[in-house]
């Protein structure tokens, strides 16, 4: 999350909250103004309108009264006219039936509770409604009506059940000028009068209203719904001071009712009737619509406030949480940064772009020996040893071109001890400020190690040089020795043989030129001298060959062992034509070797075989090879005299002989030479022999892998 988001949210939300409060305050101000004006208007309305309405209602009531009285008179006249004969014979059932039918008919049409025909004593003669109970209830009123000779209104009273209100109009009937009876019209006030009293023509106002008998202080009809729960028609009103006041003054007045509720009341006499109409209204009730509006507005404001508050709370908690989280994050970052720098193994310095130190870690204090405040007053260049600062400055100048640089230099501590360091500096813009982040590593150890390595290397090099010198000296010596050896061999071959040649040559000259002077014995001696010198010449030749074999340069090439062996055999046949030897040679034995040395090898091996089979009448010399463990083992096998295997190890030593010179002449150097040839080919050579049966000489030659490699090597 971006760190600026919560603050942005916060500001946006703040604006929202401000607008909201401004809105609420405006609503409240408008509400107060409206309420004030409305209250005033209602007050005016009440004080002016209530009496007017009440007056209107009194007129309605007067009209109703007049209408009732008129109706009763008209019906009575009609009864007299239409039922005259029946009334005169009222004792007859027939007449009564006729009258009842008429009464029922009118009762229904004019919605009376009942119409009764009574005699002058008040006894019911005929009634429209059969359930009616008559009695002496109205006798006084009837008497009064008969006496006055005009219709009488019996004011509101409880009916015979004592539960319901009732009122009657009594119209006297006269027969031939004498009172004959009366018609009693019973009116149901609940149905006929009550709606008139309780119903108001305007909906905005519904005051409680009731009739009061103008003569007394008794209410005679209440509107059932308001002041009292039940419609109790007759109830003393003495306790309602406002009504009393109203009755007293006759106009509108303000006061309180029994429960101390402020009210406004109006009392007006209803003309031509015995009644007064009282209307009263609770002040609170008048304000109810306004209050309802205000209540709704307040509820709306409340809800909005609640919603806003909830939103604000949620937002605030989110912001708080976010702030706490950011704070924690920052703290942990700070902590990590602290750990990173504080406990770093390297010196870490933070400098401005002029290299003035602005921050240093523990390691820096520890290494340089300055206090933190001292370091913060210093420049990076001041930490350099004498002479190192100039070079360091050159390096640091590169900072203007490169973001990061690294170089080795020497720093000096407070205690003036110098130590080599590796400095790595990186420049970065931090909040618009160029800062250099310097990581400095004490490389004393590394330098020492490097120096040790250098020293070791130097020592090693000098040792190697010494050794090389020694080796070269040895090589030179060896070369010299070799040359000496060659010179020696040369001398041997020339100088040592020269006297032999003389001995042999002059012995021969003696034998040839002075044969006639020499006896047999002398000739024999001379022959022995010659044989000895010739043997010595052979020895010298063989020794020279041996040393030659050991020293000669090797020239590897692909050669056919079969061909070489065949040539050697041919040479031997020519040399010893008297010998009959069977020679078997495996064909196509191709090897990679020095052909000259191999010739010497075969000359020796096959030559030996030739020699040691000389006593055998059916001599056989076999040359070939067999595979043994993947390796070619070459052999030269004969069926000669053989030798005892206990001498097998000595057989390759020079001058080693196992047979008498007389039987098998030789120098004893041949097998030593053969061994030398094989050794120079990195091979092995060994013999297997059985006395009297024959000898086999085996040898191997180091062979490169078969195929191409061998061809290219050869």
- Name the H helices within 177-282: 189-192, 194-198, 241-249
Applying CB under 8 A, does 662 fall inside the site for another protein?
Answer: no
The C-alpha angle with vertex 226 and arms to 224 and 230, in degrees rounded to 5, equals 40
Whether 118 contacts 184, CB under 8 Å? yes
Report the C-alpha gap between 676 and 597 in whole angstroms. Answer: 9
Which member of 504, 542, 603, 675 binds another protein (CB under 8 A)? 504
Residue number with CB closer to another protein (27 or 500): 500
Give every CB contact of residue 549 below 8 A, 6+ residues apart in sequence.
Answer: 597, 600, 673, 676, 677, 680
Structural tokens at position 7: 């603050």
Residue number with CB closer to another protein (381 or 492): 492
Residue number with CB closer to another protein (475 or 502): 502
Residue number with CB closer to another protein (405 or 508): 508
| Interface of this chain with another protein, residues 552 to 591, rule: CB under 8 A | 552
Q: How far is the CB of 595 from another protein (least distance, A)?
A: 14
Q: What 3-state DSSP class applies to 295?
A: helix
Applying CB under 8 A, the span of 106-114, 150-158, 536-544, 627-635 interacting with another protein comes to 536-544
Structural tokens at position 228: 């009292």
Applying CB under 8 A, does 494 fall inside the site for another protein?
Answer: yes
Report the C-alpha gap between 213 and 157 in whole angstroms. Answer: 11
Applying CB under 8 A, the span of 80-88, 268-276, 500-508, 684-692 interacting with another protein comes to 500-508
**Based on C-alpha coordinates, what's the Rg of the chain?**
80
Report the C-alpha gap between 654 and 674 in whole angstroms. Answer: 10
Q: How far is the CB of 679 from another protein (least distance, A)?
A: 20
Percent helix, percent strand, percent coil in the chain, to nearest 5: 55, 25, 25
Which member of 66, 502, 558, 653 binds another protein (CB under 8 A)? 502
In terms of C-beta density within 10 A (0-12 exposed, 13-18 middle, 19 or more buried), how is residue 73 classed? middle
Report the C-alpha gap between 227 and 232 in whole angstroms. Answer: 11
432: left (phi over 0), alpha (psi -120 to 50) or beta: left
176: left (phi over 0), alpha (psi -120 to 50) or beta: left
Whether 637 contacts 622, CB under 8 Å? yes
Q: How far is the CB of 622 from another protein (least distance, A)?
A: 30
Helix axes 497-513, 520-551, angle to 10 degrees: 150
DSSP string, 71-107: HHHHHHHHHHHHTHHHHHTTTSHHHHHHHHHHHHHHH
Residue number with CB closer to another protein (471 or 498): 498
Residue number with CB closer to another protein (56 or 492): 492
Which positions from 228 to 247 touch another protein by CB under 8 A, shown as an x/- string?
Answer: --------------------
Q: How far is the CB of 549 from another protein (least distance, A)?
A: 11
Q: How far is the CB of 482 from another protein (least distance, A)?
A: 13
Number of residues forming the site for another protein (CB under 8 A): 20
Q: How far is the CB of 503 from another protein (least distance, A)?
A: 9
Q: How far is the CB of 540 from another protein (least distance, A)?
A: 8
Which member of 501, 555, 570, 580 binds another protein (CB under 8 A)? 501
Which member of 24, 544, 566, 645 binds another protein (CB under 8 A)? 544
Residue number with CB closer to another protein (445 or 512): 512
- Edge-to-edge strand ranges of the sheet holding 685-690: 581-585, 619-628, 631-638, 694-699, 685-690
- Name the H helices within 149-259: 189-192, 194-198, 241-249
Q: How far is the CB of 497 from another protein (least distance, A)?
A: 5
Q: What 3-state DSSP class applies to 27?
A: helix
Applying CB under 8 A, does 505 fall inside the site for another protein?
Answer: yes
Applying CB under 8 A, does 493 fall inside the site for another protein?
Answer: yes
Residue number with CB closer to another protein (160 or 495): 495
Applying CB under 8 A, does 325 fall inside the site for another protein?
Answer: no
Pick the closest to residue 337 from 430, 432, 442 (CA basis): 430
Which member of 215, 306, 330, 498 binds another protein (CB under 8 A)? 498
Q: How far is the CB of 531 from another protein (least distance, A)?
A: 15
| Interface of this chain with another protein, residues 470 to 489, rule: CB under 8 A | 489
| Interface of this chain with another protein, residues 506 to 535, rule: CB under 8 A | 506, 508-509, 512
Which member of 104, 408, 541, 563 binds another protein (CB under 8 A)? 541
Residue number with CB closer to another protein (497 or 680): 497
Residue number with CB closer to another protein (366 or 557): 557
Distances (CA, A) of 417 to 319, 412, 659: 55, 6, 89
Applying CB under 8 A, does 548 fall inside the site for another protein?
Answer: yes
Whether 443 contacts 420, CB under 8 Å? yes
Pick the closest to residue 349 from 436, 413, 432, 415 (CA basis): 436
Residue number with CB closer to another protein (501 or 682): 501
Applying CB under 8 A, does 497 fall inside the site for another protein?
Answer: yes
Applying CB under 8 A, does 18 fall inside the site for another protein?
Answer: no
Residue number with CB closer to another protein (393 or 501): 501
Residue number with CB closer to another protein (532 or 552): 552
* Pairing assessment for the beta strands 581-585 and 433-442 based on DSSP bridges: unpaired
**Residue numbers at the binding site for another protein (CB under 8 A):** 489-490, 493-495, 497-498, 501-502, 504-506, 508-509, 512, 540-541, 544, 548, 552
């Amino acid at each position: 999350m971006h760190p600026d988001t919560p603050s942005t949210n916060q500001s946006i939300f703040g604006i929202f909250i401000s607008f909201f409060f401004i809105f609420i305050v405006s609503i409240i101000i408008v509400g107060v103004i409206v309420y004030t004006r409305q209250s005033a208007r209602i007050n005016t309305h009440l004080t002016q309108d209530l009496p007017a309405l009440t007056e209107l209602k009194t007129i309605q009531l007067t009209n109703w009264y007049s209408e009732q009285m008129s109706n009763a008179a008209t019906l009575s006249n009609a009864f007299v006219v239409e039922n005259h004969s029946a009334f005169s014979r009222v004792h007859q059932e027939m007449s009564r039936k006729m009258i009842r039918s008429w009464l029922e008919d009118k009762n229904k049409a004019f919605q009376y509770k009942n119409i009764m025909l009574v005699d002058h004593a008040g006894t019911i003669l005929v009634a429209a409604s059969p359930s009616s109970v008559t009695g002496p209830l109205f006798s006084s009123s009837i008497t009064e009506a008969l006496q006055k000779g005009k219709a009488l209104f019996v004011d509101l009273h409880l009916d015979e059940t004592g539960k319901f209100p009732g009122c009657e109009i009594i119209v006297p009937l006269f027969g031939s000028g004498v009172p004959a009876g009366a018609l009693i019209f019973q009116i149901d006030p609940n149905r006929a009068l009550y709606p008139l009293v309780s119903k108001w023509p305007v909906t905005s106002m519904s005051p409680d209203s009731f009739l009061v008998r103008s003569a007394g202080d008794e209410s005679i009809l209440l509107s059932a719904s308001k002041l009292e729960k039940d419609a109790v028609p007759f109830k003393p009103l003495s306790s309602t001071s406002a009504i009393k006041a109203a009755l007293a003054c006759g106009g509108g007045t303000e006061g309180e009712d029994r429960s101390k509720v402020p009210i406004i009341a109006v009392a007006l006499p209803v003309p031509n009737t015995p009644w007064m109409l009282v209307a009263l209204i609770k002040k609170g009730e008048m304000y109810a619509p306004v209050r309802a509006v205000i209540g709704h507005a307040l509820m709306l404001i409340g809800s909005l406030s609640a919603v806003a508050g909830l939103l604000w709370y949620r937002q605030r908690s989110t912001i708080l949480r976010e702030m706490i989280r950011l704070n924690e994050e920052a703290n942990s970052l700070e902590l990590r940064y602290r750990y990173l720098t504080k406990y770093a193994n390297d010196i870490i310095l933070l400098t401005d772009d002029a290299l003035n130190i602005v921050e240093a870690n523990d390691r820096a204090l520890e290494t340089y020996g300055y206090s933190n405040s001292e370091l913060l007053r210093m420049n990076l260049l001041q930490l350099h040893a004498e002479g190192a600062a100039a070079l360091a400055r050159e390096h640091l100048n590169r900072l203007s071109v490169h973001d990061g640089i690294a170089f080795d230099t020497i720093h000096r501590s407070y205690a003036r001890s110098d130590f080599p360091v590796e400095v790595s500096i990186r420049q970065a813009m931090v909040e618009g400020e160029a800062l250099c982040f310097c990581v400095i590593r004490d490389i004393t150890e590394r330098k020492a190690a490097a120096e040790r390595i250098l020293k070791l290397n130097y020592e090693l090099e000098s040792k190697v040089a010494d050794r090389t010198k020694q080796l070269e000296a040895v090589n030179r010596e060896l070369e010299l020795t070799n040359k000496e050896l060659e010179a020696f061999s040369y001398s041997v071959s020339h100088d040592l043989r020269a006297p032999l040649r003389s001995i042999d040559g002059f012995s021969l000259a003696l034998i040839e030129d002075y044969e006639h002077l020499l006896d047999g014995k002398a000739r024999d001696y001379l022959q022995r001298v010659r044989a000895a010198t010739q043997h010595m010449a052979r020895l010298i030749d063989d020794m020279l060959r041996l040393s030659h074999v050991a020293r000669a340069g090797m020239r590897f090439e692909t050669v056919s062992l079969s061909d070489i062996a065949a040539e050697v055999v041919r040479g031997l046949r020519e040399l010893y034509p008297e010998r009959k030897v069977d020679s078997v040679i495996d064909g196509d034995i191709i090897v990679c070797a020095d052909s000259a040395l191999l010739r010497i090898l075969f000359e020796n091996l096959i030559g030996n075989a030739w020699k040691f089979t000389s006593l055998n009448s059916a001599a056989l010399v076999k040359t070939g090879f067999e595979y043994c463990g993947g390796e070619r083992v070459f052999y030269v096998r004969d069926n000669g005299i053989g030798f005892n295997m206990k001498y097998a190890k000595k057989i390759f030593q020079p001058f080693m002989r196992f047979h008498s010179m007389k039987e098998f002449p030789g120098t004893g150097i041949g097998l030593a030479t053969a061994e030398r040839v094989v050794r120079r080919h990195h091979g092995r050579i060994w013999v297997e022999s059985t006395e009297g049966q024959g000898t086999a000489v085996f040898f191997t030659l180091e062979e490169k892998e078969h195929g191409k490699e061998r061809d290219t090597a050869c």
